[in-house]
């Protein structure tokens, strides 16, 4: 779903969440980390094929 590479997405997610204290991630940052966010890096996305 969401045309993501699951391993790459999860890896990115953990990298980003390490920068915040537990249970205190700003809501705007959480929105950027959602699987449907346009802010995710290209490494997390599957290449579009026909």
- pLDDT score at 34: 96
CB burial of residue 14 (10 Å; 0-12, 13-18, 19+): exposed
Which residues are 4's β-sheet partners? 45
Q: pLDDT by residue for the chain (50 residues), tens digit each?
A: 789 999 999 999 999 999 998 889 999 999 999 999 999 999 999 987 76
- Provide the sign of the torsion angle of the four alpha carbons 3, 33, 41, 11, taken in this order: negative
- pLDDT score at 3: 92
Q: The pTM is what?
A: 0.83
- pLDDT score at 50: 67
| Residue count of the chain | 50
């Amino acid at each position: 779903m969401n045309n993501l590479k699951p391993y790459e997405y999860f890896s990115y997610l953990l990298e980003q969440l390490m920068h915040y204290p537990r249970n205190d991630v700003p809501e705007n940052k959480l929105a950027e980390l959602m699987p449907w966010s346009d802010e995710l890096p290209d490494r997390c996305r599957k290449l579009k094929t026909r």
